[in-house]
């Protein structure tokens, strides 16, 4: 890590501010679960997306561009130029969505070169230090928690409208639909950067059209009216899903108008893409562009997505198709070369696509790119993978016992298996996968641990989303754990204690802002908990649960270093883990973002002055008030 830190320092020195001001701005808009088919420019029979179509008609299109089959792995590979299996993010939950601390991100690199860097929407690579976006090179952040609005680490009760999001780590309430908010905040960030004559890197990542499917009424009405005119029958869920997509397009149009108005369109690299394939269900999908599979599939429908980009000042302002196989790991080296920036001393898995962007028919190696869909705590070789070349797809599953080969020149839908007729091609691609696995699997055993007691985040809130080995990833699962899909309501947290000292650990079923008792059934199941147990660093402590208690707080002395934080709520013959843990290091610096009032992110325990924390400071509100009709 020494060499990386040194590179970051040198990068700041090498790129003067006046020089940086001539560098191109960069905007990447990455939608969530939209995939390749859901755009009118690729032939969707209902959707109208004129703003994205405009970029399609006036820019470079990577026609065979691939990502991971699910969201967090894609984002990790895009940010680092390294495969998700290498950087530690091969799942969306269970502690395997935390981007390893050693990784250098795209935001790190651009910030080191004088850029203003901002993230607006979805991050999904960690909600606790040192994995938050503000820890990974982003100077301005407006984000929801985890992988979607309404997931476990998100502000309790967020529902896409008039929600509370984290602004540089501090909770703030907003008015309006989530996608509108994220684009508006991004444009305010860009406007400020223009006024300061700084180039900017803006990563705009709406959670739409990820489930649950909600959209502004006007967007839904527009889709329904068009469907009726075209004789298309829509389910209610489908109408909302498509309404979310058209709302994204409306905002993309606002963004394009903003760039023109600010006079920065010419020298801005503008990109539109998606993080994985669409969810394939009859209730929401009309069209899949002849692709097989959708989200989490190792067939092309799961990982082939649009990548449209335009940069007029760089000559990338006319319709060109680049038909070679490309991937998310190529984007970082490509942007670094386009911007004339120095790459860090880190081995990247991708290649700069600049030769192809300049000439779609340039000499280019016939290489192999990898896709995996692990979604496990510990990856398994030959589990749901694809090896991609310009012409071929090797698709494997069932521990390697089911290998299929498709000729993409004649079989876009991957229906005709050529494994038996082209055994030499199969053997070559399988050998490439074996070499890839031997490389990336060497460090699969590493665990990314969340810091507790750090000066950068104290107190810290841990949630069931990040249990290692299990997960309750959505607020609906907290309300009723039986609806969870990743194991029983039992799990532990892998943490790294930052410093020796006394710690207060407050255990809850509901988050503090929900303001509910441990045994309050709310809309789900009551466990009638009577005893709470905490086990950490060889210590096991127990307490009874007082009637009506919203939390149980333990005071425990911890040593710096790795720790397993295990909890147990027991009663009436049943047991669950605490879904939320609020951890404060006494006599430590209290993060400004956590000096908030009850109900907005702080545990309800008393913080006596002799423990080094002044109660009145802990409850000084730094959160904007919510609307009068909000809970």
Q: What distances in angstroms separate CA 192 from CA 23, 121, 506, one per listed residue?
A: 16, 19, 40
CA dihedral 292, 295, 297, 300 (to 10 degrees): 40
Confidence of residue 8 (pLDDT cuts 50, 70, 90): very low
Listed in sequence order, the DSSP H helices in 285-328 are: 300-303
Q: Can you list the positions of beta strands (E) in 211-348? A: 268-274, 307-310, 320-322, 326-327
Helix and strand counts by DSSP (H, E) for the chain: 15, 26
Q: What distances in angstroms separate CA 32 from CA 64, 150, 314, 384, one per listed residue?
A: 19, 14, 28, 21
* Residue-wise pLDDT tens digits, 597-619: 333 343 434 333 333 333 332 22
Listed in sequence order, the DSSP H helices in 101-177 are: 106-112
- Whether the per-residue pLDDT at 146 is higher than 90: the answer is yes
Q: Can you list the positions of beta strands (E) in 373-433? A: 385-388, 392-397, 402-407
Residue 80 · residue 99 · CB < 8 Å: yes
d(CA 103, CA 111): 15
With H, G, I as helix, E, B as strand and everything else as coil, classify residue 583: strand
Listed in sequence order, the residues at least 6 apart from 282 whose beta carbon sits closer than 8 Å to its beta carbon are: none
Listed in sequence order, the residues at least 6 apart from 492 whose beta carbon sits closer than 8 Å to its beta carbon are: 467, 468, 469, 564, 565, 566, 567, 577
Question: Which residue carries 């109408």 as its tokens?
Answer: 239
Q: What pTM did the predictor assign?
A: 0.91
pLDDT of the residue at 485 = 64
Average confidence score pLDDT of the chain: 89
d(CA 14, CA 550): 53
Residue 443 DSSP class: G
* Token pair listed for 109: 């690199």
- Whether the per-residue pLDDT at 408 is higher than 90: the answer is yes
Sign of CA dihedral 336, 338, 339, 341: positive
pLDDT of the residue at 469 = 83
pLDDT of the residue at 593 = 54
Helices 331-339/71-80 angle, 10° precision: 30
* Token pair listed for 409: 């020149």
- Whether the per-residue pLDDT at 9 is higher than 80: the answer is no
* Token pair listed for 411: 């079989």
Query: Which residues are 31's β-sheet partners?
Result: 274
- Mind spelling out the 3-state secondary structure of 342-370? CCCCCCCCCCCCHHHHHCCCCCCCCCCEE
141: nearest Cα among 114, 107, 110, 112: 107
d(CA 207, CA 629): 24
- Whether the per-residue pLDDT at 7 is higher than 90: the answer is no
d(CA 411, CA 322): 19
Sign of CA dihedral 492, 70, 384, 348: negative
Residue 145 · residue 154 · CB < 8 Å: yes
- Mind spelling out the 3-state secondary structure of 219-237? HHHHHHHHHHHCCCCCCHH
By mean pLDDT, which of 124-138, 345-359, 591-605 is the weakest? Answer: 591-605
Residue 306 · residue 46 · CB < 8 Å: no
Residue 133 DSSP class: G
pLDDT of the residue at 592 = 59
* Residue-wise pLDDT tens digits, 436-481: 999 999 999 999 999 999 999 999 999 999 999 888 999 999 988 8
* 72-95 per-residue burial string, b: 16 or more CB within 10 A, e: under 16: bbbbbbbbbbbbbbbbbbbbbbbb
- Whether the per-residue pLDDT at 15 is higher than 60: the answer is no
By mean pLDDT, which of 179-193, 370-384, 522-536 is the weakest? Answer: 522-536
d(CA 500, CA 77): 35
CB neighbourhood size of 401 (10 A): 8
């Amino acid at each position: 890590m020494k060499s990386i830190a040194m590179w970051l320092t040198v990068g700041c020195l090498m790129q003067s501010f006046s020089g940086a001001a001539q560098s191109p701005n960069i905007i990447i808009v990455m939608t969530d679960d939209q995939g390749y088919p859901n755009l009118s420019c690729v032939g969707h029979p209902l959707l109208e997306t004129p703003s994205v179509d405009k970029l399609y008609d006036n820019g470079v299109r990577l026609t065979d561009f691939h990502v991971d089959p699910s969201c967090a792995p894609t984002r990790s590979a895009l940010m680092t130029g390294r495969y998700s299996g290498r950087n530690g993010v091969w799942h969306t939950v269970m502690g395997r969505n935390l981007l390893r601390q050693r990784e250098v991100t795209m935001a790190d690199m651009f910030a080191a070169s004088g850029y203003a860097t901002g993230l607006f929407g979805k991050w999904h690579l960690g909600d606790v230090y040192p994995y938050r976006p503000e820890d990974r090179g982003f100077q301005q952040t407006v984000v929801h928690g985890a992988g979607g609005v309404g997931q476990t680490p998100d502000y309790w009760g967020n529902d896409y409208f008039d929600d509370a999001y984290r602004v540089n780590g501090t909770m703030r309430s907003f008015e309006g639909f989530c996608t509108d908010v994220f684009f508006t905040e991004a444009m305010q960030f860009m406007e400020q950067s223009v006024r300061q004559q700084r180039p900017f890197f803006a990563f705009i990542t709406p959670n739409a059209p990820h489930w649950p499917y909600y959209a502004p009424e006007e967007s839904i009405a527009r889709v329904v009216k068009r469907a009726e005119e075209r004789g298309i029958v829509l389910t209610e869920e489908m109408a909302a899903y498509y309404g979310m997509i058209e709302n994204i397009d409306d905002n993309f149009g606002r963004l394009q108008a903003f760039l023109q108005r600010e006079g920065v369109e010419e020298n801005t690299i503008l990109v539109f893409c998606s993080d994985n394939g669409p969810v394939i269900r009859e209730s929401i999908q009309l069209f899949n562009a002849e692709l097989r599979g959708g989200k989490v599939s190792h067939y092309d429908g799961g990982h082939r997505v649009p990548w449209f980009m335009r940069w007029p000042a760089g000559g990338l302002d006319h319709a060109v198709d680049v038909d070679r196989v490309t991937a998310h790991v190529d984007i970082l080296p490509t942007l670094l070369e386009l911007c004339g920036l120095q790459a860090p001393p880190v081995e990247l898995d991708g290649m700069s696509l600049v030769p192809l962007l300049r000439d779609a028919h340039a000499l280019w190696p016939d290489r192999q790119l990898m896709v995996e869909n692990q979604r496990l705590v510990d990856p398994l070789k030959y589990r749901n993978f694809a090896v991609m070349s310009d012409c071929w797809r090797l698709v494997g599953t069932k521990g390697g016992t089911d290998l299929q080969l498709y000729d993409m020149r004649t079989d876009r839908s991957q229906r005709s298996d050529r494994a038996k007729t082209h055994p030499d091609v199969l053997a070559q691609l399988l050998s490439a996968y074996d070499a890839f696995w031997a490389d990336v699997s060497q460090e699969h055993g590493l665990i990314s641990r969340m810091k507790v007691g750090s000066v950068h985040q104290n107190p810290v809130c841990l949630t069931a989303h990040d249990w290692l080995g299990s997960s309750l990833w959505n607020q609906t699962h907290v309300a009723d754990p039986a609806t969870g899909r990743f194991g029983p309501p039992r799990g532990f947290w892998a943490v790294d204690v930052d410093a020796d000292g006394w710690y207060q650990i407050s255990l809850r079923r509901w988050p503090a802002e929900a303001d509910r008792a441990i045994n309050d059934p709310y809309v789900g199941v009551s466990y009638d908990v009577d005893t709470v147990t905490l086990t950490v660093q060889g210590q096991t402590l127990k307490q009874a649960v007082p009637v009506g208690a919203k939390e149980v707080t333990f005071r425990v002395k911890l040593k710096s270093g790795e720790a397993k934080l295990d909890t147990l709520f027991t009663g009436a013959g049943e047991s669950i883990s605490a879904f939320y843990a609020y951890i404060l290091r006494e006599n430590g610096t209290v993060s400004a973002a956590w000096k908030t009032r009850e109900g907005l992110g702080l545990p309800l325990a008393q913080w006596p002055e002799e423990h080094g924390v002044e109660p009145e400071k802990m409850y000084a509100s730094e959160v904007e008030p919510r609307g009068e009709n909000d809970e």
